[in-house]
Amino acid sequence: MAAIRHTRPNKALGSVRIALGILFLMTGMMKLFVPELRYAFSGQLTAANIPFHTFNMWFVPITETAVGLLLLYGLLARVNALVVSGLMLVATYVHLVVADPVLFPLQPTEPIIPIIAISAAVYVLWRGGGAWSADLKWSHHAA
């Protein structure tokens, strides 16, 4: 567990983690509470033939919201970055197989945002939570 939470007070890393947290908090909340975006997400799942439609309509946005909050707080940043990577690999697939631009109302149909999110998540996975994170506070107490 110590290796998973270990990080340094790097402000650039902390900023990347916080930006990723904001992105996921917003995306999850919008899929839950904005009808047009919920409809678009449902259409993406259907068009990409993602199984367990009803389950994923709730699981994905709730997971995104939780991961966003945990990344903002910086708690177990590496674990949450791994979750982000998994979600964004599926999102990349969805972007590659769904051709209807109506189903991507706030983003391009190309997987630009998922690839940027994966890149940021890999950085957090590699370096930890960085500055202003609960993991950093824990790292200092454990040292």
What values do phi and psi take at 5, rounded to 5? -95, -10
pLDDT tens for the 143 residues of the chain, in order:
788 999 999 999 999 999 999 999 999 999 999 999 999 999 999 999 999 999 999 999 999 999 999 999 999 999 999 999 999 999 999 999 999 999 999 999 999 999 999 999 999 999 999 999 999 998 776 65
pLDDT value for 47: 98
C-alpha triplet 17, 26, 24: angle, nearest 5°: 40
Domain parsing of the chain, residue ranges:
2-142
Q: Which two tokens stand for residue 73?
A: 């707080």
Q: Which two tokens stand for residue 48?
A: 């990409």
pTM attached to this predicted model: 0.94
**Residue 143 and residue 123: Cα distance in Å, rounded?**
23
| Residues 12 and 128: beta-carbon distance below 8 Å | no
